[in-house]
Structure 1
Amino acid sequence: MQYEEFLAHMQTCIEQMATPNYQVQFLSVMKNNDVEQNGVVLMKEGERVSPNIYLNSYYERYLQGESISDLCREIMELRITTMKENVLDEVTEDMSFDRWKDKIIYRLVNRKSNKKRLQEVPFMQLVDLAITFHCLVRNNDDGIGSFLITRELMERWNLTVKELYQLAAVNTPKLFPSSIRTMEEVLQEMLEPMKEPSPLVFSDENEVEDYNQEIPVQLELSQTMYILSNSNGINGASALLYPGVIENFSNRVKSSVYILPSSIHEVILVPFQEDIDKSQLIQMVNEVNQTQVAKEEVLSSSVYYYDRLLKELTV
């Protein structure tokens, strides 16, 4: 069954399961790198908001043998569970600046690949990347929840893009401290998942959660490489923006640094050496993007260079 046909069957099934006081709406949502995902919203009579449940992963499960009726039943149960948490009501209940000013964070995305998405949101440029701004709703064992700050919301708060950045530059490192570890340590933990995690090389705080992102094993160089992310490994490439992180790392290794964008979740730091061929680094980044990173998680195909003396980041 093709994907479009699957969506039609899912819509019929969910509409049959939903009671008359539910309005079922199927829609398409623009995600990172202008990747469109299909979702379903079940709006109950009397409620102001409802979660958008994405269906793309359910199609993969259908192809693996799960039935449409079982998948629809799970979606209905998920919708009920999510609304019991009242998270969405809390979000829309108070949209004042005072409510959210300490929850404003930033993320790094590819500017060219997000042309459609960036039309409606404030952002700042960094080389070929864009710094976008979000409000953190939830950060617990169930995961991270946030919403993107639009131009409309920025204007309602009477803020400029520069002011958003200043707030995010304070909040993001506090909420998601940076983590720098050697590639060898991360790969070793991937091969020995039951082993206790190795200590961090550098960290913004004493206790940091285990880093669990998948690291491309093809990236192998003779010199030591380091993984820069944040404490939970989600949207950790933004740690590249943290004040002093790259400068301090560069001073510790006593060299300028090549920065390889592994994904939106992490970047790879390679201390500069004369014998490193930058074109080889670019080739490796492109290969990893094409073979190991989901389209919506690709950050860039460029390789960046931080000059220790000039304290500048260039492509």
Structure 2
Amino acid sequence: MDYQEFLDYVKENILDYLKQSRITADTSNEVIFDEKEYEVLSQKIMKNNGITLDAITIYQEGQYVSPNIYLNAYYDQYKMGKPLDCIMNQLIQEYEDKMEEAGTLQVDNVYDLDKVRDKIVFRLVNYERNRKELLLCPHKRFLNFAVTFRYLASKDAMGIASSIISHKEFAAWNIELDELYDIAKSNTMRLFPWKIESLAKMITSCMCGDLSNALSEDAYEDMMNMVEQDCGIQMFVLSNDVGINGATCVLYDQVLYEFSMAHECNLYVLPSSVHEVILIPAEEDTDPQFLLELVSNANKSSVGLIDLLSDEIYYYDRNINEIQIYED
């Protein structure tokens, strides 16, 4: 079946699979499943960089939270030969997992600033690629980026759950954009602390795997040096503690300044993705044109369009504590 037929099949049959799953899981044989209590809607959800994903949402009477189940990746599995029955059961499992997680969420009144003030965070996105979405929400320009604002519903070992703050919520709060930015900045720095790690160390850890604890400190250091020599450039990865939307850390107070002062040089900042940036000490022999090519090639071959942040590179000057788009 083609993609549209797949979407239609899922929407028309998902409740049958949900019913069968509930009956199978109930050992007491007392489960009552009334399809009239449910409604299945299909919708297109706009994600980062203008990417639109197809989703279904199962609404149940009395439930305040109804998670979106994205179908694009499931269709890819179907095209690869995965049985449709298996895919439908996977969809049900994802729905049940998300509903269980949602049961622990405290749903706040997002129109009451006092209730959500401590849960407002911000995110860095590409301005041009998100023009359509930016029409719908308050945002602040930063270089060729936009800073958007989100309500953080949860952050745990399973990941994070958040929703965009629209003009409607922002208007209800009756505050200025600069105040919203300050609130979000303070919360984001507190809830998502930054971390910087040598790229060579990260690669070495991946290469060594379970052996990393068995290696002596000297042996581990030697391997790191070998990786760094192969790279040819000292690279450091800046992200947050969960590695999700960590590129936002370039907005944190003093992070770039303190790192550049510790290395006694200015920095090139490479937008690896929305999840992290790469910091490179600006030495005399560092070739910015090579760095531009590095970013361009990575964006074309390694970074998914939904995670792409920018094709530019940036230059941080510690003397004036300022980051700008690099211009030759």
If the length of structure 1 is used for normalisation, what is the TM-score?
Answer: 0.87
Higher gyration radius (CA): 2
Describe the SS at the equivalent of 2:210. coil
Deviates more, 1:188-197 or 1:175-184: 188-197
**Aligned equivalents of 2:132, 2:158: Cα separation in 1:** 30
Cα contact 1:39–1:52 (8 A) shared by 2:
yes
Deviates more, 1:269-278 or 1:116-125: 269-278
Cα contact 2:105–2:153 (8 A) shared by 1:
no
Describe the SS at the equivalent of 2:106. helix
**Aligned equivalents of 1:195, 1:56: Cα separation in 2:** 37
Distance 1:304 1:68, change over 3 A: same
The one-letter amino acid paired with 2:278 is I
Distance 1:190 1:99, change over 3 A: same
How far did residue 147 of structure 1 move? 1.1
Partner of 2:76: 60
Pick one of 103, 109, 115 that aligns with 1:99: 115
Distance 1:194 1:159, change over 3 A: farther
1:266 aligns with 2:289: no
1:78 aligns with 2:94: yes
The one-letter amino acid paired with 2:253 is P
1:147 aligns with 2:157: no
Pick one of 106, 112, 120 that aligns with 2:136: 120
Q: Judging by fraction of residues, say which structure has more helix.
A: 2
How far did residue 247 of structure 1 move? 0.8
Partner of 1:254: 264
Partner of 2:294: 284
Cα contact 1:50–1:88 (8 A) shared by 2:
no
How far did residue 282 of structure 1 move? 0.9
**Aligned equivalents of 1:93, 1:313: Cα separation in 2:** 37
Describe the SS at the equivalent of 2:42. strand
How far did residue 270 of structure 1 move? 0.7
Distance 1:118 1:76, change over 3 A: same
Distance 1:61 1:92, change over 3 A: farther
Partner of 1:223: 233
Give the root-mean-square deviation of aligned CA atoms. Answer: 2.2
The one-letter amino acid paired with 1:35 is I
Question: Any unmatched runs of 5+ in structure 1?
Answer: 198-216
**Aligned equivalents of 2:96, 2:204: Cα separation in 1:** 41
Give matches, 1:172-251, under 5 Å.
172-196=188-212, 221-251=231-261
Distance 1:276 1:89, change over 3 A: closer
Q: Deviations over 1:144-201 (max 9, x none)?
A: 111111111111111222111101221111111111111110111121222458xxxx
**Aligned equivalents of 2:324, 2:4: Cα separation in 1:** 43
Describe the SS at the equivalent of 2:4. helix
The one-letter amino acid paired with 1:64 is M
**Aligned equivalents of 2:242, 2:318: Cα separation in 1:** 28
Distance 1:49 1:88, change over 3 A: farther
Partner of 2:22: none
**Aligned equivalents of 1:102, 1:278: Cα separation in 2:** 40
Describe the SS at the equivalent of 2:115. helix
**Aligned equivalents of 1:159, 1:195: Cα separation in 2:** 53
Q: Percent identity among equivalent residues?
A: 35
Cα contact 1:169–1:243 (8 A) shared by 2:
no
Pick one of 20, 42, 50 that aligns with 1:26: 42
1:2 aligns with 2:2: yes
Cα contact 1:10–1:68 (8 A) shared by 2:
no
Deviates more, 1:152-161 or 1:84-93: 84-93
Question: Any unmatched runs of 5+ in structure 2?
Answer: 19-34, 214-226
Cα contact 1:224–1:270 (8 A) shared by 2:
yes
Deviates more, 1:54-63 or 1:66-75: 66-75
**Aligned equivalents of 2:179, 2:288: Cα separation in 1:** 36
If the length of structure 2 is used for normalisation, what is the TM-score?
Answer: 0.84
**Aligned equivalents of 2:285, 2:151: Cα separation in 1:** 43
**Aligned equivalents of 2:136, 2:91: Cα separation in 1:** 30
Cα contact 1:13–1:69 (8 A) shared by 2:
no
Pick one of 155, 168, 175 that aligns with 1:159: 175
How far did residue 87 of structure 1 move? 4.6
The one-letter amino acid paired with 2:180 is L
The one-letter amino acid paired with 1:186 is M
Partner of 2:305: 295
**Aligned equivalents of 2:169, 2:315: Cα separation in 1:** 35
Describe the SS at the equivalent of 2:107. helix
